[in-house]
């Protein structure tokens, strides 16, 4: 074989080599279109808004490869639906092209609930929405801080700051309605524990102002109220001898409470009307 090649003039061998190379290159380019699918284009179906499993079946049945490349969460769409596709629907692409999908998550992520107590209604609403939470119901109770958030509720229960809640959850507010026009006698909470006093005052729409501990108090809620301000009786001279005047208060105002670990000794002759 080598003798056959070496017996020919050099120019003949070069001509044969160039010719063979040209034929191979021609065959390669001729078959390139078949190998790469050159000239074969398909229209990508628009599958946004479809369930991810139905979308994958549709794309694969038309010869496309599919890859779920990202996920987001939005409350405006059901879970597991396609929110975005690349290439976009109706685009003409080569046969067998990979279509990348973004899917809406089925389970919403969770975030920490902030403390919105004391915020104005408008500010609290904007804060909630910026975090992906929704406004729930709003109720009012007498309080001097009109239109300020007094309580934040989730599923009708008070929610503490830092509690994990799903994105899209509805948070309800109890807002201050301002001072009430009605007048009531100042309630007597002396002798109650601080926890009992708070419950009683809350039912009467009266807030707790300053809490002053007399002595060392480790458990404030279990401590006793030994004094309150305003007190139940007025220091003014009574209109009738021997009769003490009762102080009045408007719902929405507050009482300052003095607490101690020792229960006070109350006057057994006290006939204060409850």
Protein fold of 41-104? Trypsin Inhibitor V; Chain A (3.30.10)
Comparison of pLDDT for 37 and 226, the residue scoring more: 226
Percent of the chain with pLDDT over 70: 80
What pLDDT sits at residue 2? 46
- Strands, E assignment, the chain: 41-43, 65-72, 82-86, 92-94, 98-104, 110-112, 134-141, 149-154, 157-158, 164-166, 170-176, 184-185, 207-213, 224-229, 248-249, 254-260
pLDDT in tens, 132-167: 999 999 999 888 888 999 999 999 999 999 999 999
Answer whether residue 239 shows pLDDT above 80: no
pTM to 2 decimal places: 0.58
What pLDDT sits at residue 9? 63
Residue-range domain boundaries for the chain: 2-36, 41-104, 110-176, 184-260
What pLDDT sits at residue 76? 86
State how far the alpha carbon of 115 is from the alpha carbons of 128, 156, 173, 190, in Å.
10, 16, 12, 31
Please, are residues 68 and 103 in contact by the beta-carbon 8 Å criterion?
yes
**Fold match between domain 41-104 and domain 184-260:** yes
Answer whether residue 113 shows pLDDT above 80: yes
Please tell me whether residue 56 adopts helix, strand or coil conformation: helix
Residue 11 makes CB contacts below 8 A (sequence gap 6+) with: none
What pLDDT sits at residue 34? 53
Please, are residues 114 and 150 in contact by the beta-carbon 8 Å criterion?
no
Q: Which residues of 98-112 are buried (b: 16+ CB within 10 A; e: fewer)?
A: ebebbbbeeebeeee
The strands making up 134-141's β-sheet, listed across from edge to edge, are: 134-141, 170-176, 149-154, 157-158
pLDDT in tens, 59-106: 999 999 999 999 999 888 999 999 999 999 999 999 889 999 999 999
Select from 3.10.450.30, 3.50.50.60, 3.30.10.20, 3.20.20.210 the CATH code of 184-260.
3.30.10.20
Answer whether residue 274 shows pLDDT above 80: no
Answer whether residue 33 shows pLDDT above 60: no
Q: What is the mean pLDDT of residues 192-203?
A: 93
Protein fold of 110-176? Trypsin Inhibitor V; Chain A (3.30.10)
The pLDDT mean for the chain works out to: 85
């Amino acid at each position: 074989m080598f003798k056959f090649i070496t017996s020919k003039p050099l120019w003949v061998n070069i001509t044969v080599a160039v010719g063979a190379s040209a034929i191979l290159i021609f065959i390669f380019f001729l078959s390139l279109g078949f190998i790469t699918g050159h000239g074969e284009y398909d229209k990508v179906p628009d599958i946004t808004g479809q369930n991810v499993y139905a979308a994958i079946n549709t794309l694969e049945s038309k010869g496309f490869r599919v890859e779920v490349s990202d996920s987001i969460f939005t409350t405006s769409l059901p879970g597991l639906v396609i929110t975005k596709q690349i290439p976009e629907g109706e685009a003409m692409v080569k046969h067998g092209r990979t279509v990348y999908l973004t899917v809406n998550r089925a389970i919403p992520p969770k975030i920490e609930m902030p403390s919105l107590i004391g915020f104005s209604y408008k500010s609290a609403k904007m804060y909630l929405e910026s975090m992906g939470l929704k406004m729930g119901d709003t109720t009012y109770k007498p309080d001097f801080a009109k239109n300020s958030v007094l309580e934040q509720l989730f599923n009708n229960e008070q929610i503490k700051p830092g509690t994990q809640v799903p994105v899209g959850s509805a948070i309800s507010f109890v807002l201050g309605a301002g001072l009430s026009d009605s007048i009531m006698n100042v309630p007597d909470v002396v002798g109650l524990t601080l926890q009992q006093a708070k419950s009683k005052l809350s039912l009467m729409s009266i807030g707790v102002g300053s809490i002053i501990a007399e002595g060392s108090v480790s458990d404030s809620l279990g401590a006793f109220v030994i004094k309150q301000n305003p007190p139940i009786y007025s220091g003014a001279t009574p209109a009738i001898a021997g009769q003490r005047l009762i102080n009045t208060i408007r719902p929405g105002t507050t009482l300052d409470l003095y607490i101690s670990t020792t229960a006070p000794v109350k006057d057994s002759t006290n006939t204060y009307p409850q």
